[in-house]
Amino acid sequence: MRTRTVLTTGVAAAVLTVALPLSAQARETESISRSLFDSTPERTVSSLRIDGPTAGPLGGALDLTVTALDGSLPTVRGATEPVEVTAVLTLSPGEVLTITTTGEASVHPFGDVLTALAYFDKKDVTYEGTEHHKVKVVGDGLISAGQQWYGGQASVSATYAW
């Protein structure tokens, strides 16, 4: 019996020794949430574009375009329509995430506020930069945009594995 216990303990120790270096190589995750406030939106019948510097690290910027799939954004209160959303998020100079996905645009029922929401995952994101070679979205990310009477707002949020 004593030999079996020593053997089992030795095998468990060997497995832990091999597993620890592998777990040390696990991908690093980072939550990124960037918002753009007080932008002057460019709105046409079929699209809404909001761009400008983001709150957060210096050099960050967001250029977000919402385009109606049927050629016109909703105009009637409470109406919702499918849209294509493209967000170009500059994390820092030389580091850019481009997200292309679909979502929904709607006009709020209590005002003439156009909003757009779109979820995205790893297949919707491309990365350009020198810091990280591959980027993977963990779970779903969220893009939101809105045009109110006082201007445009937008945000991009997700957890990324580098």
The per-residue pLDDT for range 21-63, each reduced to its tens digit, is 444 445 689 999 999 998 999 999 999 999 999 998 788 999 9
pLDDT digit string, tens, across residues 56-107: 878 899 999 999 999 999 999 999 999 999 999 999 888 999 999 999 999 9
Tell me, yes or no, whether 13 lies in a domain: no
Cα(105)–Cα(24) distance, rounded to whole angstroms? 43
Distance CA 118, CA 77 (A): 19
CATH code for the domain of 105: 2.40.350
pLDDT score for 64: 98
Quick check: is 10 in a domain? no
Report the pLDDT value the prediction gives residue 51, as an integer from 0 to 100: 96
Q: Does residue 2 sit within a domain?
A: no
Q: How far is it, in rounded angstroms, from Cα 96 to Cα 140?
A: 19
Q: Is residue 147 part of a domain?
A: yes
Question: Is residue 15 included in any domain, yes or no?
Answer: no
Structure tokens belonging to residue 122: 């790893």
Domain-located, residue 5: no
Q: 17: which residues sit within 8 A by CB, 6+ positions away?
A: none
Does 111 fall in a domain? yes
The total domain count for the chain is: 1
Which residue segment(s) compose the domain that 90 sits in? 27-161
pLDDT of residue 57: 79
Q: Residues 6 or more apart from 58 whose CB is under 8 A from it? A: 92
Residue 4 lies in a domain: no
Average pLDDT over residues 133-161: 90
pLDDT over 70 percentage in the chain: 82
